[in-house]
Amino acid sequence: MKNTETERKFLVDRKKWLTMSKPSCIPYIQGYLSIDEDKVVRIRVAGEKGFLTIKGKSETFSHPEFEYVIPADEAGELIQLYAISRIEKVRTRIQIGKHVWEVDEFHGDNEGLLMAEIELEDPEELFDKPVWLGAEVTGDKRYYNAYLSIHPYKTWQ
């Protein structure tokens, strides 16, 4: 399938992350219109851009994903009117080797969670691991953003 995303997720060592210089981050607000076992429908405002995303059921590292750019003001309005849950975070994109890592620092009810993800062409593809990379959480549904929007990190035992 052409619209397949293959990604791996990791926790980030906060102490190491905070000591390094990095590019500026972009604020994100994500509202979820539908969350079920087979699909997630999300509206996102990322800085000055808006997106509508539909993600299919994950199969290990990969899942179908369709993403469309929409006006940011309309994305914000859709979140306000129709989101059943939401998350807030800032994202830093940082190049390590030939890949771009996206590091998310969560706010609100998910404050304290710091995660990184990398998109790959193939699940077996090799990649450089930055010094701030922690444990891999790929496939652990608790770390999916949609799950975090309903079961915030602050409520975990």
Range scoring the smallest mean pLDDT among 61-65, 97-101, 147-151? 61-65
- Helix, strand, coil abundance in the chain, percent, nearest 5: 20, 50, 30
Residue 1: pLDDT band (50, 70, 90) is very low
pTM: 0.91
Indicate if the pLDDT at residue 91 is higher than 90. yes
User: 68 an active-site residue?
Assistant: no
Q: Are 38 and 55 in contact (CB under 8 A)?
A: no
**Number of domains into which the chain is organized:** 1
Catalytic residue among 32, 68, 143, 153: 32
Supply the Cα-derived Rg of the chain in whole angstroms: 15
The domain containing residue 26 runs over which residues? 4-155
Contacts of 16 (CB under 8 A, 6+ apart): 131, 132
CATH number, residue 151: 2.40.320.10
Indicate if the pLDDT at residue 119 is higher than 60. yes
Instruction: State the chain's mean pLDDT as an integer.
Output: 93
pLDDT at 78: 97
pLDDT in tens, 9-67: 999 999 999 998 888 999 999 999 999 989 999 999 999 999 999 998 876 778 888 99
What mean pLDDT do residues 110-129 have? Answer: 93
